[in-house]
C-alpha cells in the first residue's frame, strides 16, 4: 500500500506526530512519503528535547521513507 502525507504546519507537535505516524506506518506498509509544505520545510528549527524532529526524520529516511520538501 502507498501512503502520502502532506504537512504544512510549523507547530512542532504537529510535525512530530506526522513523523511518528509515518514511522509506525513504515513498519506495516511498503511505501510511505511525507511532503513538507510551507513552514514545515524548516522542521529542523523546531527540534527540541520534547520534540526530537531530527531524530524522527533520520529514522524515517533510513527506513526507506520518502521525504519531499
**How many angstroms separate the CA atoms of 7 and 36, rounded?**
5
Query: What's residue 1's pLDDT?
Result: 83
Residue with cell 520534547: 50
Q: How many CB atoms lie within 10 A of CB 11?
A: 13
Query: What's residue 54's pLDDT?
Result: 96
Query: What's residue 30's pLDDT?
Result: 75
> For each of the chain's 69 residues, which pLDDT tens digit applies?
899 999 999 999 999 999 999 999 999 877 999 999 999 999 999 999 999 999 999 999 999 999 998
Query: What's residue 36's pLDDT?
Result: 96
Amino acid at each position: 500500500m502507498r501512503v502520502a502525507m502532506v504537512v504544512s504546519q510549523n507547530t512542532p507537535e504537529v510535525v512530530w506526530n506526522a513523523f511518528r505516524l509515518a514511522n509506525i506506518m513504515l513498519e506495516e506498509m511498503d511505501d510511505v512519503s511525507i511532503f513538507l509544505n510551507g513552514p514545515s520545510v524548516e522542521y529542523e528549527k523546531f527540534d527540541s528535547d520534547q520534540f526530537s524532529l531530527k531524530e524522527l526524520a533520520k529514522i524515517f529516511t533510513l527506513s526507506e521513507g520518502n521525504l519531499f520538501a
